[in-house]
A and B are shown apart, each in its own frame.
Chain A
Amino acid sequence: MQCALLVVIVLAVQYLGSNLAANMKLVGITPGFGFLNHAANFQIGESVIPYQAGDSYGRAILVGLLNTVKVAVAGCILATIVGVALGVARLSTNPLLAWHVQAFVEVVRNTPLLLQLFFWNAVLHGLPGPRQALSPVAGVLLSNRGVFVPGIETDSPVIAGVVLVFALAAVVFLAQGRRIGLAASVAGLLGAGAWGLAHGATVALELPRLRGFNIAGGLTLSPEFAALLIGLVVNTSASIAETVRGGIVSVSAGQWEAGAALGLKRLQILRLIVLPQALRVIIPVMTSSFLTLTKNSSLAVAIGYPELVSVLNTTANTTGQALETIFIMMVVYLTLSLTVSVFMNAYNRRWKLRENAR
C-alpha cells in the first residue's frame, strides 16, 4: 500500500515538474541560477556589507538576507525583554498596571500587523526633517531620515571586535551573577583595549551632523528599519507576554505559598521558584513566536525596508527568474526557521534535564 502511494507521489511530482518545465519553455523562460553572477543594476537603501549598483545579484540577495537577519535578531531579543516584562506586569497585584498591560495586549493582538507597521512608519515619518532634527540628548538626532547616534570610529576593527566580545561576555556573566567570569572578562576587555592603544590604534567619537541633503556621521537607524523593528517588537511582545503569563499561571499556587512560607519575597519567589518551572511551558511557545517574527519581517516590502523579500522581488522583476527567487526565499526562510528551532530546542532540553534531575 505504502509503495503504491510512493509511486503515485513520484509520478505526480514528475508530472507537475514536466508540466512546469513545458510551460516555462512555452513562455521562453530558461530555468537556472546563472543570473546570480550577473550585474544587478539597482541600488539598495541600506546594507550591512558594502554594496553598490552593478554588483552581482548574489551579493544583492546576500544584502537582503543580512538585513532580514539584522531585524530578526534585534527583534527577537527586544521582544523577549519587553514581552517577559509585560507578562510579569500583567500578573501584578497592582490593578492599574495589570489593566494597562491587558489593554495594550488586547489592542496589539487584535489589529493586523501590516496596519501597525503603517502606523509606526507614519509616526517616524512625522518627525521633523534633517534640518530641524530633534536632539533630546546631545549627539542624538531624531529626524524623519532616521535616528542618528554617535558612533565610535576606529582603524583597527579586529581589536574593536575582541573588545566587543569581552564586553558581551561581561554582560552575560553579570546577568548570571558569576563574579569570577565577570572579573575575567572585564580584565580581558581592559587588556585588549590597552594593548590596542599602545600599538597605535586610534579611537574617535564621531558625532552625526547635517551635511548636504542628509545627516552624516555616527550610526544610523533608518526610519523604515526603526518602524519595522518597533512594529515587530510590539506585536511579538504582546504574544510573548501572554505566553509568559500562561506559563506563570500554570505553576501551581502551592509553589508560591511554599516560597512565602520560606520567607522569600514575591520577586524572589518569581525568579527562583516560579520562572524556572514556567520556562518549561514558555520556551516551546516562545520558539514559534520567534519564528513568526522572523517570517513577519517580510511585510517590510510595504514600507520600504530592503530585506530579503524586497530584494528578491526586484530580482525576479528584472531577471524574470521568478521561480528561482521564490525557491531561494523558501530555502532561506526554512533555514532561518530551522536554525532558530535548533537553538530553542537545545535551550528547551536544558530546562527539561533539570526537571528530570530533581
Chain B
Amino acid sequence: MEPHSTSPSSDPSPPSGDGSSNRWVEQWQQGIDPEESFRQIFHQYYRLVFSFFVKKGFSAEECNDLAQETFLRVYKSLGTFRRESRFETWLFQISANIYRNTLRAQSTRKRDAPEVSLTDLTDGPGGGGGESDVAQDEGGGPLEDLLTSERSRMLHEALQDLPSQMRRCVILRVDRDLKYREIADLMRVSIDTVKAHLFQARQLLKVRLADYFADLNF
C-alpha cells in the first residue's frame, strides 16, 4: 500500500499482515510525513479501540473520550515503541491501561460508598464461606439444603480430581459458556485439546455425578 494514495477510511486493514509492525508506524518513527502517517494509524485502529471500550460497557461519548485519550498516549509514546512486538499488541496495552485507570478512578470516586458484590448480598449476615454457602438460595427447607450442600461437595470433589487443565476447561465452559476457541485462547492450547479435555471430563463427571445433576452435556 502506498503511503499517500489510499483513503484511510476505505481501507481499515493493517498495511502489513505478516505480524511485523505497521508500516505507518515505521514511517512516523522515521519522520516521514508524520502527520499523514499518524492520521493513517488513527483511521486504521480507531474502530478497534472504540469497540474495545464499547465492549467494556462505556457509553458512546465515554468511548469516544477514552479512544481519544488512547491515541493521545499513542502519539506521545510512539517514539519509544520498539517494533519487536506487534503494534496492535502495544496498542492493546495502552487501551487496557486506560481502561483499568478509568475503573480505578471511578472506584476512587465511589470510595465513600463501599462496594458490595451481588454474591456478598446473597450471602446474608454471617455468611463466612464453607460448603453451606452454596446452599443459601435453594429455599427448600432443611432437607433440600442438605441435598444442595451434598451436591456441592460432590461436585467440588469431582472437579478437584480432574487434571488442572481439564478442570479449567470445564469451569470456563460451564460457568461462562465460552466457545471452544475462546477457551483455547485463554488457556493457550489448541481447540482440539480443549475438545479432548471436555470430552474426557464429561465421561468422568457423568460417572460420579449423574445421580446428582441433570445436565452434564456441557
Do these two chains really belong together in a complex?
Answer: no
